[in-house]
Amino acid sequence: MEKGLILWFTGLSGAGKTTISKVVAEKLKQRGQKVEILDGDIVRENLSKGLTFSKEDRDINIRRIGFVAHLLSRNGVVAITAAISPYKAIRNEIREMYDNFIEVYINAPLEVCEQRDVKGLYAKARSGEIKNFTGIDDPYEPPDNPEITCCTDQESLDESVAHVISSLEKYGYLT
């Protein structure tokens, strides 16, 4: 792959974005690809520190992630984003701004995400301790037409990773 790619993972907290993206990154590296993961939590801590979880600040954060992903992709890197990115409009804005954008919807029901919640964030959101938590008191808008969908409540990690890799082959990004 001479030209890079933005591989945009979206889904609820606990759906599997980070887990799947890390394994996909390893598979791509094994195939000689240059890869960077822009994890939502890490980007928020380092590039978007001070932003709140208001819609406006979330949009700013996603624009920043999109811009960095674009800089990487135009230099031949597969930029993998793993951020909730809950709003359709901002994801579509990023899609329209940059070439080689592949949306990967990591789909898992809210109940499953809550069961997987190792950080206890859903419980804190349900008790009112955390405000504007996606899926509880702030919406998550699933993509209308993602290029790839992984249903992590129905498929194993290996199946999800294989689905992403085979889709990249199908779309001509991998040989």
Annotated catalytic residues are 85
CA 54/CA 138 separation, integer angstroms? 9
CA 133/CA 126 separation, integer angstroms? 9
Contact call for residues 53 and 132 (beta carbons, < 8 A): yes
Whole-number Cα distances in Å, 82 to 24, 41, 86, 129, 175: 12, 9, 12, 25, 24
Contact call for residues 86 and 57 (beta carbons, < 8 A): no
Of 145, 175, 149, 173, the closest CA to residue 163 belongs to 149
